[in-house]
Each structure stands twice: as C-alpha cells, then as structure tokens.
Amino acid sequence: MENIDAARLQMAFTLIFHIVFACIGMVMPFFMVVSHKKWLNTRNPIYLTLTKSWQKGVAIFFVTGAVSGTALSFELGLLWPEFMKHSGPIIGMPFSLEGAAFFVEAVALGFYLYGWKKIPETFHWFTGIIVGISGVMSGILVVSANGWMNAPSGFDYINGEFLNIDPVKALFNPAWFTQALHMTLAAFTATGFAVAGIHAYQVYKKRNVELHKKAFKIAITFATIAAILQPLSGDLSAKDIAERQPVKLAAMEAHYETKKGAPLYIGGIVDNETQEVKYKLEIPNALSFLAFGDFNAEVKGLNDFPKDEQPNVAMVHYAFQTMVGLGSLLMIAGMLFFVAKYKKKSWFNMPKFWLLFALLAPLGFVALEAGWIVTEVGRQPWIIHNIMKTKDAVTPMPGIVFSLYTYIAVYTILTIAVTWLMARQIKFLNSVKTNEA
C-alpha cells in the first residue's frame, strides 16, 4: 500500500470512530437533562433511574470521544505535517476555542457526575446543560476548521506562501455555517435514532417497558425535529457547494457534461470509463433547481475539470445517495412517531412499531458517515481546496501502513468493548427495580 493511501485510510478510520463517539457524547447530555428535569418536576423515580443510566453512557462516550479526539489532534500533525505547518496558524482559532469549550465541558461533567446530593439540585441540573452546550460548541468549532479546508479564506496565497493571515476570517469561512448546521442536526438525528432504537428494542422484548418507553420518547422527539429540519439545511449546503466547489457537486450527482436544465439522478451504477450512470431514476431539470433555484440554470459537469482534479466519482455519488436516502427514511419514520403520539395512540401497543424503530437504530449513523465521505472524498485531491494537494501534505515517514494496522486493531477492540459495556448497562438497568436506583 502506498504511504499516502495508508495515511488517508488511517485518518478516515480514526475519524469514522471519533465522529460516532463525539456525536453521542455531544447529544446524549440533552436527553439526560430532559429526563433529569422530569425527575425534578414529577419526582417519578423512573426518571431518576433513567437519568443515572444515561449519565453513565455520557461518561463512557465522553471519555472515548475525548481520547479519540486527542489521538486526532496528534494525528493531524503526525500524518499531515506539511498541512499543519501552514494551516495550523490559520485555523488555530477554532481549535484553541474548541480546547476551551472542551475544558468547560470536562469541568461541568465533573460537577454533574459526582455532584449527586453534594451540590444544590438546580445548580447540579444546570451543570448538565453546560455539558450539552459546550459539547455542541466544540462540534461546531471543529466543523468550522473542516469548513476552512473546503473554503480556504483568511489569507492571501502568493507564490506558494500564506500571507496576511486573518484567523477570525478563517474561522468564519464561507462554509462554516452550512456545514456546522448540517452536522449539528445530523448528530441529533443519528444519536436520537440510535438511542431511541435501543430502547425500542427493549420495549419490543417487553423488558422494563415503562422506563424504556419514556426513554424512547425523549430521544425520538429530538431526533425527529432534527430530521425534519435537515432537508432545509441540506438545501443550503447544496447551493453553497454549487457555488464554491462545483466539481464536488458534479461528483455527488455523477454529472459529467455541463448542461442547462440538468436532471437529478437518483441511485444508479456509475461507470467512470464510459461516463454513464446505469439503472438510475432521472428527474428532469431538478439538479439545476436544487443547485441554483432555477430549473434552467447551467450546472458544470465533471468534464469541465482536469482529470487529476476530480475526486472518486462513484464513491462520492454512492455516499451521497446513501445519505439522502437514509435521511429521508428517518424523517418519515420520525413523523410516524408524531402521528402515533397525537392521532394513533394504539400504535404504541403494536410490537411491529417498536421493531421498526429498533431496526432503524444504526441508520442515522450510516447516513452521517456517508455525509462525511461525500464532503471529504469529494474534496480530493485537495487537502486545502485549490491550494494544497493531499499528496503534498503527507508525512515523508515510510511504513505508515503499520501504524494503520495498529489503529485498526485498537479501535476494533475498543468498539467491541464499548458495545459490550453498553449491553451490560442495559441488562443492569432491566435487572434493578426502579425505586432501588
């Protein structure tokens, strides 16, 4: 394996894991404080049991997220020294603020986890809110740094040098808002469906039904609201990409020839040699409309760009289709919950209803990872869009493939361990009587 491929795979692999841990660690505190608030309001012990078991989940995912994030902060430099040497000073601001937000989160979490019966009740609950808010802030800041790679700004690039650096402008780069909004909503959708799905499965299995139903409702409410807002945010992102990174948009849609009134392809098999997409569903003029709000707008095709400046079209296209498809599916499923809640209460007694949500549990994260593949693979061959190529940023140290294997081994074990741990938490939760907790 080439060094650069090993480095890219290692980066992708660690990011895929970190994203899952970080999203759960960032969103679950919100579920936890809602349940905590319900406990304070109703004094129903079920909510206390639930809050305490979710707080363990938060702690476990916070730490796994923190250590995998620490790993990434090292890896950026270790794998891409040339990139960090030049961009470190420019995109330092989101990272230093992220460090601060993360610190606030750690302090607040210290209070929350160890503060039961030691600090005043309302203040204790409030520290949980701080955990959630600072977690979301961290996420937004890191995504802003990624946005800068897609929309480099805040400097002048003259003769291969980065001059007149303005870190504030780099932080508020043109991509930060659309990306951060899309990612925050995605985190809520994915985590919400995952948590709701796990509790739905417990209801389906008729274990501790009352508690799991309450847990399900909290998680699915967040998830559904986020899933319904997500297409609007996706639309903003698409229009933004059409402006700034037309080649990425073309790859997402496997759109080869520049055309006015371009059609939208749904699904299909991409053949990059013959530049054809087989077995697709075609909606005339829809791509032009989605990208520019005009059915007859001109959409640039891949052939307008040199071959060596195009990403892997098939991979980006499939990932994009996966993200949109699963996102839509989840949105519809979330609406089913609202129908059940307000119109068809009887659905809550149907095992099929719970089985459906149990099956949907992993799909939010699949969509979320697919989305990151779209934005990261879609940016290739650039590490900094139109400025620095990924192959020029990689470490000169040979043998990265061994580092890759080590990471794969460690992270695989970690995943198995965390999954096993979560299963034990749920088993434990089902075995205790509520008022004992």
Partner 1 sequence: MIYVVLAFLAISLLLYVLLAGADFGAGIIELFSSKENQAINKKTVYQVMGPVWEANHIWIIILIVILWIAFPHYYNILVLALHIPLTLVLLGITLRGVAFVFRYYDAYKDSSQILYDWMFKTSSLVTPIFLGLTMGGVVSGDIINPSQMENHSFLEVYVHSWFNVFSILTGFFYAALCAFLASVFLIGEVDDTSKSMYMRKASIATIVVVSLGFITLAYGYLSGIAFVVDFISNIWSISAIVVSGILLFPLWKSIKSGRRIISRALAGIQIFFILFAATITHFPNILFTTTGSISIYEQPVPDSVMNVLGISLLVGGVLIIPGLFHLLKSFKLIKLLER
Using the minimum distance from each CB to partner 1, give the nearer residue, 339 or 409. 409
Question: What whole-number distance in Å separates Cα of residue 14 and Cα of residue 71?
Answer: 8
Residue 97: CB minimum distance to partner 1, A:
6
Q: Does 86 bind partner 1 (CB under 8 A)?
A: yes
The residue type of 105 is: E
Structure tokens at 339: 């129908």
Question: Judged by CB, which is closer to partner 1: 15, or 262?
Answer: 15
Site for partner 1 in 207-266 (CB under 8 A): none
Contacting residue, 93, 361, 370, 393, with partner 1 by CB under 8 A: 93
The answer to whether the CB of 220 falls within 8 A of the CB of 341 is no
414 binds partner 1 (CB under 8 A): yes
Among 12, 45, 89, 292, binds partner 1 (CB under 8 A): 89
386 binding partner 1? (CB under 8 A): no
CB of 105 to partner 1, least distance (A): 8
239 token code pair? 């229009």
97 contributes a contact to partner 1 by CB under 8 A: yes
Provide the minimum distance between the beta carbon of 285 and partner 1 in the complex, in angstroms, as a whole number.
Answer: 46
Instruction: Output the smallest distance, CB 30 to partner 1, in A.
Output: 19
Nearer to partner 1, 97 or 329 (CB): 97
Residue among 31, 62, 222, 289 that touches partner 1 (CB under 8 A): 62
Min separation Cβ 424 and partner 1, Å:
5
Q: SS3 letters for the chain? A: CCHHHHHHHHHHHHHHHHHHHHHHHHHHHHHHHHHHHHHHHHCCHHHHHHHHHHHHHHHHHHHHHHHHHHHHHHHHHHHCHHHHHHHCCCCHHHHHHHHHHHHHHHHHHHHHHHCCCCCCHHHHHHHHHHHHHHHHHHHHHHHHHHHHHHCCCCCEEECCEEECCCHHHHHCCCCHHHHHHHHHHHHHHHHHHHHHHHHHHHHHCCCCHHHHHHHHHHHHHHHHHHHHHHHHHHHHHHHHHHHHCHHHHHHHCCCCCCEECCCEEECCEEECCCCEEECCEEECCHHHHHHHCCCCCEECCHHHCCHHHCCCHHHHHHHHHHHHHHHHHHHHHHHHHHHHHHCCHHHHHCHHHHHHHHHHCCHHHHHHHHHHHHHHHCCCCEEECCCEEHHHHCCCCCCHHHHHHHHHHHHHHHHHHHHHHHHHHHHHHHHCCHHHC
State which residue, 104 or 314, has the beta carbon closest to partner 1: 104
Residue type, 363: L
Piece of the chain touching partner 1 by CB under 8 A; list 75-83, 250-258, 261-269, 272-280: 75-83
Smallest gap from Cβ 184 to partner 1, in A, equals 21
Provide the mask over 125-164, with x wherever binding to partner 1 is found by CB under 8 A and - wherever it is not. Answer: ---------------------------------------x
Q: Which long-range CB contacts under 8 A does 155-161 form with residues at least 24 apart? A: 155/90, 157/387
Q: How far is the CB of 48 from partner 1 (least distance, A)?
A: 16
Shorter beta-carbon distance to partner 1: residue 110 or 293: 110
Tell me if 104 contacts partner 1 by CB under 8 A: yes
Q: Which token pair is 157?
A: 């690039």
Q: Does 37 bind partner 1 (CB under 8 A)?
A: no
With respect to partner 1, which residue has the nearer C-beta, 340 or 418? Answer: 418
Our CB check for partner 1 shows the closer of 133 and 286 to be 133
Q: Which of 59, 315, 340, 387 binds partner 1 (CB under 8 A)?
A: 59
Give yes or no for residue 16 binding partner 1 (CB under 8 A).
Answer: no
User: Can residue 108 be called a binding residue for partner 1 (CB under 8 A)?
Assistant: yes
Nearest 5 degrees, angle CA 385-CA 298-CA 305? 40
Site string for partner 1, 389-408 (x = CB under 8 A): ------xxxxx---x--x--
Binding residues for partner 1, total number by CB under 8 A = 67
Binding site for partner 1 (CB under 8 A): 56, 59-60, 62-64, 66-71, 73-78, 81, 84-86, 88-90, 92-93, 95-97, 99-100, 102-104, 106-111, 113-115, 118-119, 164-168, 395-399, 403, 406, 410, 414, 417, 421, 424-425, 427-429
